[in-house]
């Protein structure tokens, strides 16, 4: 397991590599971000952005999503995985926003997680990106990088990964760390072809060291 000093080094290197890491889901307000993050489950941000480019022109408010049939909404997001269930959640979420929150996205974890289709990860993204509340969402990239580096255990649940990262990362760096871990995992420490050969964290990374021992990677001179 990484020591706090080693983890701080990792954070500094990721900050050097990706100083401008940010949320790549295109949105104009908390409502659009909530919809985009919901759509991003098991789907790439790139595909979500292609779909929401037209979606957010057609639908501006929760009432707009309820003004069409479920079938029409499904057709609008058909290219996204799990589109049927996501369309159903979007309409249910929109209805709850109108019934309980005057059509506005709540700025609390409790309120966000009460919305259909919104789990802890989505709530964390909306809290940190839309409302500036310190949060550290764990998606597939964050979980993969955290486990490969050894800041947490291989067997840890997503919640345990989140709790460990929050415990070992300064609270004022949670949001930045979330984005930089995503960029590091998305563009460098990829699932199938991690950039071990040119990684500044190679000496600390248990996954990189395992690949090196198996002869799967050579470090650049």
Q: How confident is the model at residue 86 (pLDDT cuts 50, 70, 90)?
A: very high
**pLDDT at 1 (0 to 100):** 86
What are the tens digits of pLDDT across the range 67-82?
Answer: 999 999 999 999 999 9
| Secondary structure class of 199 (helix, strand, coil) | coil
Phi, psi at 212, each rounded to 5°: -65, -45
Which among 45, 76, 86, 121 is annotated as catalytic? 121
- Domain assignment present for 142: yes
pLDDT at 4 over 70: yes
More confident call, 217 vs 13: 13
The per-residue pLDDT of the chain, averaged, comes to 95
Which among 99, 139, 172, 214 is annotated as catalytic? 139
Do 110 and 176 have their domain in common?
A: no
178/185 Cα distance (integer angstroms) = 11
Do 106 and 189 have their domain in common?
A: no
Domain that holds residue 105: 30-131
Return the percentage of the chain with pLDDT > 90, whole number.
91
221/157 Cα distance (integer angstroms) = 37
**pLDDT at 220 (0 to 100):** 60
Cβ atoms of residues 93 and 117 within 8 Å:
yes
Return the percentage of the chain with pLDDT > 70, whole number.
99
CATH code where residue 69 lies: 1.10.340.30
121 is known as an active-site residue? yes
**pLDDT at 47 (0 to 100):** 97
pLDDT at 213 over 70: yes
87/61 Cα distance (integer angstroms) = 15
- Domain assignment present for 204: yes
9/73 Cα distance (integer angstroms) = 46
Q: How confident is the model at residue 221 (pLDDT cuts 50, 70, 90)?
A: very low
Q: How confident is the model at residue 216 (pLDDT cuts 50, 70, 90)?
A: confident
What are the tens digits of pLDDT across the range 109-129?
Answer: 999 999 999 999 999 999 999
Please return the burial class of 116, using the count of CB atoms within 10 Å of its CB with bins 0-12, 13-18 and 19+: middle
**pLDDT at 219 (0 to 100):** 63
What are the tens digits of pLDDT across the range 15-45?
Answer: 999 999 999 999 999 999 999 999 999 899 9
* Number of independent structural domains in the chain: 2
Do 43 and 100 have their domain in common?
A: yes
35/44 Cα distance (integer angstroms) = 14
- Domain assignment present for 173: yes
Q: How many Cα atoms within 13 Å fall on the side-chain side of residue 176?
A: 15
Rounded to the nearest 10°, the torsion over CA 138, 183, 84, 129 is 70
139 is known as an active-site residue? yes
Phi, psi at 146, each rounded to 5°: -60, -40
Do 54 and 120 have their domain in common?
A: yes
Which sign, positive or negative, has the C-alpha torsion 33, 25, 162, 80?
positive
């Amino acid at each position: 397991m990484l020591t706090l000093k080693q983890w701080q080094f990792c954070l500094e290197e990721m900050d050097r590599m990706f100083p401008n890491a940010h949320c790549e889901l295109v949105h104009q307000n908390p409502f659009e971000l909530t919809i985009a993050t919901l759509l991003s489950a098991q789907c790439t941000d790139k595909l979500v952005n292609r779909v929401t480019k037209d979606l957010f022109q057609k639908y501006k408010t929760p009432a707009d999503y309820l003004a069409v049939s479920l079938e029409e909404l499904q057709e609008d997001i058909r290219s996204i995985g799990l589109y049927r269930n996501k369309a159903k959640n979007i309409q249910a979420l929109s209805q709850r926003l109108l019934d309980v929150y005057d059509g506005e996205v709540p700025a609390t974890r409790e309120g966000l997680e009460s919305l259909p289709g919104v789990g802890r990860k989505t709530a964390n993204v909306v809290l940190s990106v839309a409302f500036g509340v310190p949060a550290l969402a764990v998606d597939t990239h964050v979980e993969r990088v955290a486990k490969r580096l050894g800041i947490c255990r291989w067997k840890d649940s997503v919640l345990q990964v989140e709790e460990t990262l929050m415990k070992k990362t300064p609270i004022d760096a949670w949001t930045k760390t979330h984005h930089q871990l995503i960029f590091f995992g998305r563009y460098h420490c990829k699932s199938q072809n991690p950039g071990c050969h040119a990684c500044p964290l190679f000496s600390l990374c248990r996954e990189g060291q395992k690949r090196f021992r198996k002869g799967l990677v050579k470090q650049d001179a």
